[in-house]
Amino acid sequence: MRLGVLDVGSNTVHLLVVDAHHGARPLPAHSHKAELRLAELLDDQGAISTDGVDRLISVIHSALRAAEDKGAEEILPFATSAVRDATNADAVLARVKAETGVDLPVMSGAEEARLTFLAARRWVGWSAGTLLLLDIGGGSLEIAHGMDEEPDAAVSLPLGAGRLTAGWLPGDPVAPDDVRALRRHVRTEVGRIVGDFTRRGAPDHVVATSKTFKQLARIAGAARSAEGLYVHRELTHAALEEWVPRLAAMTTAERADLPGVSEGRAHQLLAGALVAEAAMDLFGVKTLDICPWALREGVILRRIDRLGK
């Protein structure tokens, strides 16, 4: 069957259409996305602005048309951190339902971590042993750990690159004091939960998903996306330590000129790098692999599994 996954994320609204069959890997057929950066459109009360909701509804309409054009027989919609944490989430969801017909479920942070872990497990396989998963989104950081398809521990922290940029890094270039303050904040938040994971033992394999990790790996020398999904890509803590101060000294325009960094994400890259560096450091990770499958693929795989029941 042809499935469409509509992911209302903190940075983008992304429709992924795939051909899905039980027992086979999903084959991408079409991708339609728009950058909204909802995590940066919150007002002083933590509500998504009226303009933000208007834009969200317009993008969902476009995604629905694209799904229809591509023959998707079922759409699996969900929203993540930006909507989940908005103080006007109920009103936003009601407007989306009334004006688009989409009943948009809001995924919990723990479920987001679990489904992303499922996707990573299927990608790397059982031979990878116990996995530690790191995922930096626009609104949150997801961490999961386990040896099966269902992680033994999963947590979501409000440490997304978009959220932190909007709340902590107002300058361009960023003021050194603001960088230090954000670094302390991130390490305090991650430090609170590290023990819950490390007491379970060291992982055999560490994987990371998300655009942030892909961009960090690319500027550190990983292969271009054009070279394909199956090229091995990794990020080392040593390389990240070298890049963080360099990113902190750059303007947004200068970051946008780096290999693999999109103009729309360049302003978030420093915050994302600080989160990545903190997570790798506090978890004792020297090297991690970049996994091309993430939350959307996890949602698809869960649905495919149910086709066989």
pLDDT per position as a tens digit, 263-297 = 999 999 999 999 999 999 999 999 999 999 999 99
| Exposure on the CB side of residue 186, measured as CA atoms within 13 A | 31
What is the structure's pLDDT at 24? 86
* Mean pLDDT of the region 120-127: 97
Report the C-alpha gap between 110 and 153 in whole angstroms. Answer: 9
Assess whether pLDDT exceeds 70 at residue 309. no
Report the C-alpha gap between 178 and 131 in whole angstroms. Answer: 33
Name the band, by pLDDT with cuts 50, 70 and 90, for residue 43. confident
Query: In the numeric block, which tokens belong to residue 281?
Result: 């450091």
Residue pointed to by tokens 């960088």: 179
Mean pLDDT of the chain: 95
Give the residue from 142, 12, 16, 32 showing the smallest Cα distance to 83: 12
What is the structure's pLDDT at 39? 81
Report long-range pairs for 188-196 (Cβ below 8 Å, ≥24 apart). 189/157, 189/158, 189/159, 190/141, 190/157, 190/159, 190/275, 190/278, 190/279, 190/282, 191/282, 193/143, 193/155, 193/157, 194/282, 194/283, 196/153, 196/155
What is the structure's pLDDT at 308? 66
Report the C-alpha gap between 151 and 200 in whole angstroms. Answer: 11
What is the structure's pLDDT at 274? 98
* Mean pLDDT of the region 219-229: 94
Query: In the numeric block, which tokens belong to residue 241?
Result: 């330590």
What is the structure's pLDDT at 40? 82
Name the band, by pLDDT with cuts 50, 70 and 90, for residue 15. very high
Do 218 and 224 touch, CB atoms closer than 8 A? yes
Q: How far is CA 277 from CA 95, 123, 162, 243, 244, in A?
A: 39, 24, 16, 10, 8
Do 270 and 187 touch, CB atoms closer than 8 A? no
pLDDT more than 90, % of the chain: 90
Report the C-alpha gap between 238 and 246 in whole angstroms. Answer: 13
Assess whether pLDDT exceeds 70 at residue 109. yes
What is the structure's pLDDT at 103? 97
Structural domains in the chain, CATH included, are 2-107 (3.30.420.40), 109-295 (3.30.420.150)
* Mean pLDDT of the region 70-77: 97
